[in-house]
Amino acid sequence: MQSSSRRTFLGICLGGLAAAGAATATWPVIRYLSPRSVEETGGKVSFPESDVPADGAKFFDFRGTTGVVVRTKSGQLVAFSAICTHLGCIVQWEKDKQDFLCPCHAGRYSPDGAVIAGPPPKPLPRLPFSVTNGLITVG
C-alpha cells in the first residue's frame, strides 16, 4: 500500500473516531443543560390553609413555575397558574377589586380565571388542589 493511501486510511479512521467521540459527548452535555423534569422538581406542594389570608392570595413555586391560591370574599379557595397567558408575567391579586391584574400589559382575570380585560388570549389555567385537616395540597 502506498504511503498516501495509508495516510488517507489513517485520516479517515481518526476523523471517524473524532466524529464518533463528538457525537457521544453531545448527549451528556444536552442532558446536563436540559431543564429539570416535573418529577425532578417535585410533583405536589403543601402548605397550611392559614397561609392564605382572608380576601388574599398565596403565591408559591409549583413544578418550576408559579402558582397562586386565593381566598375570595365568599371564603372560597381557588388555585391557578399565576403565569399570565399573554406574555408570561406573574399576575397580582387585587384584594379591593377581587380580580387578577397582570401589571405588564394590564390584562385582567376574574376570580375564576376568565379574561375580563386586556390582551390575554386565554383564561388562567386552574390547578387541582385539595384541603385535608387544614393543609392545602396543590398538584
Partner 1 sequence: MMIMKRISEWFEVRLGYKELAEKHLTGYLLPRNINAWYSLGSVLLVIFGIQVLTGILLLIYYVPDADKAFRSVTAIMNDVPYGWLIRMCHAVGSNMMVAVLLLHMLSTLFMGSYKSPRELNWLTGFILFNLVLGISLSGYLLPWSQLSFWATTVATNSAGAIPIIGDYLMQFLRGGKLVGPPTLGRFFAAHVALLPLAIAGLIGAHLFLLERIGVSAPPFGLKETKNSWQGDQFRHEDHPGGIPFFPDYLLQDATSIMIYLAVFFSVVFFSPNIFFPVTAFMPADPFRTPAHIKPEWYFLANYQTLKIFPSELLGLMVQGAVMTFLALLPFIDRGKERHPLKRPIFLACFVGGIIIYLGMTIWGHYS
Chain residues that interact with partner 1, rule: CB under 8 A: 7, 10-11, 14-15, 17-18, 21, 28-29, 31-34, 40
* Least distance to partner 1, CB of residue 33, Å: 7
Residue with cell 443543560: 33
Q: Residue type at 18?
A: A
Q: Which is nearer to partner 1, 17 or 38 (CB)?
A: 17
Q: How far apart are CA 79 and CA 114, in angstroms?
A: 13
- For the CA atoms of 113, 105, 69, 47, the dihedral, rounded to the nearest 10 degrees, stands at 150
Q: Which is nearer to partner 1, 1 or 29 (CB)?
A: 29
* DSSP 3-state of 103: coil
* Least distance to partner 1, CB of residue 10, Å: 5
* Least distance to partner 1, CB of residue 137, Å: 24
